[in-house]
Amino acid sequence: MIIDVHTHAPRFRDRVPPELVAATANTKWSPHGIRPTVYTWAEYDAAMTPVDRAICFNIAQAPPPARQITESYLGPAAQVNDETAAFVRAHPDKYIGFLSVHPDDPAAIEEIERGTGDLGLRGIKLGLNYQNVDPLSENAFRIYAYAEAHRLPMLFHQGTSPVQFADLDYAHPRHMDRIATALPELRVIMAHIGHPYYLDTICVVRKHPHVYTDISGAVLRPWGFYQAMCAAMEWGVLDKLLFASDFPASTPAETLRLLHAVNDAAPGPKALRIPKEAIEAIVHRDSLPLLGLD
């Protein structure tokens, strides 16, 4: 069983301005070439062939008139949640949908209630750097507290981004310690091992039993990923790493290949190696019960 805990639902060309497609479809997202930002559900489904289950979502933009941080994954909360729910409902054995809200939206809690009620979505995705929200703000904590009380796992974008106006500090993994300390029952996935701040991520996941991190994106930079994996091994948190692709930034197939190749970046025969069993354990980790989704 392979579970991809982090994939993005399509944004459609008719809703993404051409200049935005051009701005985001660049090699800054991945050193391995241009990544599509606009694709279809059929393309999404085809990319998920190697995995048995996948968690799927998009990110809610700020309600008007707030300034948008340009990023083509974002859309109005109700629209992205409706689209995720419709697709997931058609493939209930494979896909699990998460909703997204904007924490500064006065109607955010009602949208969570609608998403988890009528729409059948089962967790919450936030990208606070793209949403231009301070992760320690009162509005953000209102969402976390609701999620903890209603047993909704949360996935946060963590670490860097090539988007110019996406605040690096709003996605810095160190802030998750404050959140997990205040809400110790909240199930959290910190995306991307917080790359390149993987040591900060490891410091957080090692002390909070319900905080995990996903390997997506981090695999795309083999030297950084090798160091992150060695650090995770040294700090004893390889068991907190969840398999994920961050489609379309990568695919499950590419992520599997790069994960299996992690030791290719070892700088010499005496350098640390990640044991094969530890790699296979990440590939086959049953992440759903860890997140309260079984």
Q: Which is nearer to Zn ion, 97 or 274 (CB)?
A: 97
CB of residue 246 vs Zn ion: minimum separation in angstroms? 4
> Closest residue (Cβ) to Zn ion?
246
CB of residue 244 vs Zn ion: minimum separation in angstroms? 8
Q: How many residues form the binding site for Zn ion (CB under 5 A)?
A: 1
Residue list 154-183, contact with Zn ion (CB under 5 A): none
Specify the stretch interacting with Zn ion by CB under 5 A; choose among 170-178, 180-188, 204-212, 246-254.
246-254
Q: Which is nearer to Zn ion, 59 or 186 (CB)?
A: 59
CB of residue 58 vs Zn ion: minimum separation in angstroms? 9
Specify the stretch interacting with Zn ion by CB under 5 A; choose among 167-175, 176-184, 203-211, 241-249.
241-249
Q: Which is nearer to Zn ion, 243 or 274 (CB)?
A: 243
214 lines the binding site for Zn ion (CB under 5 A): no
> Judged by CB under 5 A, which of 71, 83, 200, 246 binds Zn ion?
246
C-beta separation of 129 from 165 below 8 A = no
Give the interface with Zn ion as residue ranges (CB under 5 A).
Answer: 246
